[in-house]
């Protein structure tokens, strides 16, 4: 197998040293397969909670702890793994992460107790952020600088396709047969990804300057914190709305429960469209895409709250909110830029930030509902979070201008 040196500075490799288009496509396919497995495993549990609760004789809210356990694994695992694996080749790290993910899911299907199942979900979440971060770095290093966001978007396509196909199908078979089948299936996808990475991702050499301290240096850079802040605050709105979309569909729009899967599909279609459009826009203007998507989110989330009682407008709004995922590739690429020589930690932490956004959005949405404002008000919560995200973005843009002027 060909050995390559994956550049520490994304996009700096001369064009004549770039791999062929076929090699790049196969690498992106292998990495996206892992994203598909991770996305399916993360979201499928949401539709299987009652089944899990019945198996372990716990309540559905108690079964929901496994979702929090997985999210905690993502938040903790991304930075810790990125630092500890600083001296590991990226191909080797990807193989290790996906193998842990596969074993974690297969073991989850065989968990004997609820406590064991919860712990296994935490362990399975550990590789999540680090995998996406490293996969994005590998994909971006293999294309010209003006195409790197699109390369990142193709890797993340696995995650967005999971929301459209993987999660609904796995949930269906998990409910029809047994919920353990869902996790076994995700484990098989993980093992398939291990094979694809082994076959198609070229070996790489570790930089001689790589070290734990260099990776930790990412957190000494204000722009890294500001970019992570944009993700954690500005994009919690999507999750505030999505966490309660089932109840909004049935209790606000007065649609039957059979309409909920339709809303989930519309959201998935929107995420895929946003990923495609956003990665293209990010290659044109990185900061413009991030700032523009925040303004976009304010508009569509407000529209969601104002029109949720209308079934047709609800469907349109759900699709448009899903399109807000356009910021995903842009933020991932932005972190590569501002992290300088500590890109692994910064890139991996992006998914920790999005999981924090998930927690903040769902929590604030729940508070507003508990206060009696109704399920549709979650859109206003989302719009407010995006508005706050604009202030963080403005601080980042201002610091960027000052740094440019001083250079």
pLDDT at 137: 84
Please give the residue range of the domain that contains residue 313: 217-402
Co-location of 38 and 166 in the same domain: yes
Are 178 and 152 in the same domain? yes
**Are 197 and 239 found together in one domain?**
no
Place of tokens 């999540």: 128
- What is the reported pLDDT for 100? 95
Question: Quick one: how far is CA 218 from the chain centroid?
Answer: 20
Q: Are residues 263 and 364 in the same domain?
A: yes
**Shared-domain flag, residues 192 and 226:** no
Same domain, 226 and 353: yes
Cα–Cα distance list, 337 to 38, 159, 185, 230, 400 (Å)? 25, 23, 36, 15, 11
Does the pLDDT at position 176 exceed 60?
Answer: yes
pLDDT digit string, tens, across residues 375-402: 899 899 999 999 999 999 999 989 888 8
Packing angle, helices 90-109 and 179-200, rounded to 10: 160
- Does residue 341 register a pLDDT over 80? no
**Do 84 and 229 belong together in one domain?**
no
Residue 251 belongs to a domain: yes
Residue 78: which CATH number? 1.20.1250.20
**pLDDT tens per residue, range 69-119:** 888 888 888 888 877 877 788 889 999 999 999 999 999 999 999 899 999
> How many whole angstroms from its chain centre is CA 352?
9
* Three-class SS state of 65: helix
Which of 37-46, 84-93, 122-131, 199-208 has maximum average pLDDT? 122-131
Domain count for the chain, please give it.
Answer: 2
Q: What is the pLDDT of residue 116?
A: 93
8 A C-beta contact, residue 392 and residue 400: no
- Inter-residue contact 319 to 104 (CB < 8 Å): no
Report the pLDDT value the prediction gives residue 65, as an integer from 0 to 100.
77
Of 140, 168, 202, the last residue of a domain is 202
Q: Are residues 106 and 168 in the same domain?
A: yes
304 and 158, same structural domain?
no
């Amino acid at each position: 197998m060909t050995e390559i040196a994956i550049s520490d500075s994304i996009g700096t490799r001369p064009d004549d040293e770039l791999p062929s288009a076929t090699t790049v496509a196969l690498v992106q396919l292998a990495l996206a397969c892992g994203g598909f497995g991770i996305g399916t495993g993360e979201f499928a549990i949401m539709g299987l909670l009652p089944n899990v609760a019945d198996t372990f004789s716990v309540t559905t809210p108690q079964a929901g702890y496994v979702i929090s356990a997985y999210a905690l694994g993502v938040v903790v695992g991304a930075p810790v793994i990125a630092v500890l694996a600083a001296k590991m080749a990226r191909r080797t790290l990807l193989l290790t992460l996906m193998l842990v993910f596969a074993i974690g899911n297969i073991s989850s299907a065989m968990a004997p107790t609820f406590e064991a199942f919860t712990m296994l979900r935490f362990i399975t979440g550990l590789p999540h952020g680090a995998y996406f971060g490293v996969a994005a770095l590998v994909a971006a290093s293999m294309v010209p600088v003006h195409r790197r966001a699109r390369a990142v978007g193709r890797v993340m396509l696995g995650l967005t396709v999971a929301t459209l196909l993987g999660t609904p199908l796995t949930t269906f078979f998990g409910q029809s047969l047994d919920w353990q089948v869902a996790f076994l299936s995700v484990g098989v996808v993980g093992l398939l990804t291990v094979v694809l990475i082994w076959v198609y991702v070229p070996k790489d050499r570790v930089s001689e300057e790589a070290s734990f301290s260099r990776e930790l240096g990412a957190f000494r850079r204000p722009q890294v914190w500001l970019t992570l802040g944009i993700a954690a605050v500005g994009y919690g709105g999507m999750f505030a709305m999505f966490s309660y979309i089932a109840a909004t569909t049935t209790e606000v729009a007065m649609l039957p429960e059979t309409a909920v899967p339709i809303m989930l599909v519309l959201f998935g279609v929107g995420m895929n469209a946003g990923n495609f459009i956003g990665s293209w826009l990010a290659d044109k203007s990185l900061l413009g895409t991030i700032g523009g998507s925040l303004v976009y989110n304010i508009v569509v989330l407000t529209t969601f709250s104002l029109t949720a009682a209308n079934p047709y407008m609800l469907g349109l709004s759900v699709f448009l909110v899903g399109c807000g995922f356009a910021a995903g590739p842009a933020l991932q690429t932005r972190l590569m830029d501002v992290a300088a020589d500590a890109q692994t930690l910064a890139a991996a932490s992006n998914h920790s930030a999005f999981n924090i956004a998930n927690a903040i959005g769902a929590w604030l949405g729940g508070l507003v509902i508990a206060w009696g404002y109704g399920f549709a008000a979650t859109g206003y919560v989302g719009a407010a979070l995006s508005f706050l995200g604009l202030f963080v973005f403005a601080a980042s843009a201002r610091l960027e201008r000052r740094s440019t002027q001083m250079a």
